[in-house]
Structure 1
Amino acid sequence: MNRFSNLIETIAKPRFEEDSIDRLNYKITTFISIGAAFTIFSKEYWGDPISCWTSAQFPGAWVQYTRDICFIENTYYVPPDRAVPNDIRERESRALIYYQWVPFILILQALLYNAPHIFWRMLNWTSGLQVRSIVTMAHEASKKSHEEAKEERGRIVNHLHAGFRAKMRFVPHSSPLVFVMRCVTSLLGDSYLTVIYITTKILFILINSLQFVFLAAFVGGGDRWWGWHITAATLRGETWRETGLFPRITMCDFKINQDNKTVMQYSVQCVLSANMLNEKLFVFLWWWALFLEVTTITNLIFWIFVLHHYPYRRDFIRDLIVASKHRRDSRQDEAQYLDQLDGFVNDYVKRDGILVLRLMVSNSGEIVTSEIVASLFARYKEWKKQGRKEDILLMRQGDLRPFVFDEDKNSP
């Protein structure tokens, strides 16, 4: 139980290494799933999820046994206008296999939705650009006094300057995973973080697609649009009797061994009250998955555009620099001030830098980010003016790499 509580605490803890759509997928969905799981669990295992109409000759113990066995074993649905089939295989084909497992399925769903987030957390840490740390620092700087915020921005600028000018980003670590990611980094170059982040978005989309397939097989009778159909049926005033989904009245077959001699088989009718809650829950989850699918696909297209379309990257950086206090205090005209902007965007910040700065804007706002970008631009121009002598010296010393924040040395 402590581990589960720690998991919830970890998920609930604010993180600033992703955008709001990512948090919808892994954080909000997790809370919805876990809350629904506990609600259903309390109904099914501490309440009365099923009641069966038993023969008057059944003693009290038999009545309780009937309820328990019909909940544990699958019941099956027969439409009101049809007789109970005699064929055992036909009864089995109509079995409801989901209601006992709903809480556990919801917990599994919560874990699956966290997988892409964990993937991003683990791999962005190996880039050498400590995304979580620098974006968190920028977020904290937005709430501090002027002097404290200036000092915090200085630390961020130092880290980003070291990371942007390094030929190969890495962290000093001896694990096999980091070694592999160093090799991948050398192949992907300035797009390492970009590829990892886009892959994370794609993983969220795949999990949402699997959600549709799973719900169709688990509760929708194979119809992937069952959520739409049941919603439309409800608006028309139809009930489960017409749709056949989440039936409240089912049949249950079981056997009782009497005196170890005679085996009696009974078929009883049961009221599956748990399905009243299951129907509302799963219809909501279907629509939620559809909402996530549409928003995440749209968000993926947006990120691909802003990271790969150069005019947008240039305008994004330009607008941040122009909006900064550093630029307003400069006596140079705008054209002269921005004369090295193309080199700054193409050769220095690159795609991974745009990604980090976009996340910074998303989590910390444009005011803080604009001052950081303006300081980086000034640092870049000074670096170019010096002919990169500092980097040549650092390369000879074998120390051309981004520094690592103390809080991130031991864990991703």
Structure 2
Amino acid sequence: MFELLSSLGSWVKRQEITTDNAVFRLHYMFTALLLLCFSAIITASQFIGDPIECMGDKSIPGNVRMIELESSFGLVNPAGHEDEKKYYTYYQWVVFVLFLQAMLCYFPKWLWDMWESNLLSTIVVGLNYGMITEEEKESKKKTLIDYMLKHIKHHNMYAIKYFFCEVLCLINIIGQMYLMNAFFDGEFMQYGRKVTDFSDMDQDNRIDPMVYVFPRITKCTFHKFGPSGTIMRSDFLCVLPLNIFNEKSFVFLWFWYIIIATLLSALVLFRIAIIALPSTRAHIFHFYNRIISKDTAAAISRKTSLGDWWVMFMLGSNMDPLIYREVMSELAKKIEISSSNSL
């Protein structure tokens, strides 16, 4: 179990060349890892205990397994009304749903890696290290500048595909919230809020939302034929120890999904502003790369397309700062000259 969790921990490692945004990484890296860890912990019954323990007629063979595969129910009393049955059929599928969610969180990363095809790694050509010889630095700078000049205004699809993957992350998170809401019979959307409000409710009428969604004790009814052929009813009291972990993990997931959905929504709005308001690109370029002068940032933003601007913007996260300043200054001058000659 510990070896499995440690191997999952290797998922979170610093990338030598970053081709994405920090919020994007929170989605495919942290969220997917969190879901996989929860799935692995639930699967590890040797640490949590048996998934279900039933007390009842011992003469019925395989009763625990049959009840686990079917369903159980609990008696709830909402707002002072008469007790009513609530059936629970989803607990056996929780581990599979968590694993599916982790794969869905990683899908935008997989798609972006396929589309990106190591473009940034190729054009950076080792300029992310400052400790190189002057001759090697000049040669690699020339290669990078020649590439950008030769492929000027040919990177729009590169940026659009990346922005699409960020939108896909937001769609995925919102979709997963609705998926979990349907999976838990409409209880997930308000789950976290109900948990935080629980302590302020009237003790005589309140129901613990964690116990309501993830009951620790349920009742199961089993029917069998008696000696004379008459159907006999047997009742079982079932303990679900895994739900002690489930109730806490899904509270955490509820709050985390709200946070990541908010961050992704803000990020998508930011991308829309970059696309719709080209005048903002120079300010953004200089804000994130203060080592570049405002004139250089303005020249690059004014004379290049969205895709070229994005590639040069991302180079700032993957190159030695001093080398990056030199490259951007030279590029800005050559782009200005090229633009003047084309008039």
Q: Where in structure 1 are there 5+ consecutive unaligned residues? A: 86-90, 170-189, 328-333, 389-412
Distance in 1 between residues matched to 2:316 and 2:195, nearest whole Å: 41
The residue number in structure 2 matching 1:371 is 326
Equivalent AA in structure 2 for residue 287 of structure 1: F
User: CA RMSD, aligned part only?
Assistant: 3.9
Question: 1:134 is aligned with what amino acid?
Answer: I
SS at match of 1:101: helix
2:225 & 2:131 partners in 1: Cα distance? 75
**Deviations along 1:130-155, whole A, 9 cap, x unmatched?**
245436x46x6245435355544443
Please give the TM-score of this superposition, normalised by the length of structure 1.
0.67
The alpha carbon displacement at 1:366 in A equals: 4.9
Q: Which amino acid aligns with 1:156?
A: L
User: Contact (CA 8 Å) 2:75, 2:83: kept in 1 or not?
Assistant: yes
Note the 1:186-335 alignment, pairs <5 A.
Answer: 191-219=156-184, 221-222=186-187, 224-233=189-198, 241-243=207-209, 244-256=212-224, 263-316=231-284, 323=291
- Output the CA distance in 2 between the equivalents of 1:322 and 1:222: 47
- Contact preservation (8 Å) 1:69, 1:254: no
The runs of 4+ residues in structure 1 deviating greater than 6 Å are 7-10, 80-85, 235-240, 318-322
What is the CA deviation profile of residues 9-47 of structure 1, one whole-angstrom value per residue up to 9, with x for unaligned ones?
996573621111110011111111111101001138983
Distance in structure 2 (CA, Å) of the matches to 1:308 and 1:221 = 38
Measured in 2, the distance between the counterparts of 1:321 and 1:274 equals 49
Instruction: Show structure 2 runs of 5+ residues with no match.
Output: none
The match for 1:396 is none
- In structure 1, what is the Cα distance between the partners aligned to 2:102 and 2:193? 23
Name the CA shift for 1:10/1:105 in 2 (closer, same or farther; >3 Å).
same
Distance apart, 1:377 and its partner CA: 1.8
Q: Which structure has the larger Rg?
A: 1
CA gap 1:224/1:69 in 2 versus in 1, 3 angstroms: same
1:145 aligns with 2:132: yes
Contact 2:195–2:208 (8 Å) recurs in 1: no
> 1:369-395: per-residue Cα shift (whole Å, max 9, x none)?
33331131233245457x47xxxxxxx
Q: Confirm or deny: 8 A CA contact 2:219 2:238 kept in the other structure.
A: yes
Amino acid in the other structure paired with 2:42: I
- C-alpha distance 222-198 of structure 1, shift in aligned 2 (>3 A): same
Paired amino acid for 2:62: Y
Contact kept, 8 Å, 1:317 with 1:373, in 2: the verdict is no
Aligned ranges 1:12-411 → 2 under 5 Å = 14=15, 16-43=18-45, 47-55=49-57, 58-59=58-59, 62=60, 65-79=62-76, 91=85, 94-125=86-117, 130-134=119-123, 137=125, 141-142=128-129, 144-145=131-132, 147=134, 148-164=136-152, 169=154, 191-219=156-184, 221-222=186-187, 224-233=189-198, 241-243=207-209, 244-256=212-224, 263-316=231-284, 323=291, 342=299, 344-347=300-303, 349-364=304-319, 366-381=321-336, 383=338, 387=341
SS at match of 2:218: strand
State the Cα distance separating 1:104 from its structure 2 match: 0.8
Q: Please give the secondary structure, in 2, of the residue aligned with 1:100.
A: helix
Aligned residues: 330
Identity of aligned residues (%): 21
1:49/1:273 contact within 8 Å kept: yes
Deviates more, 1:276-285 or 1:241-250: 241-250
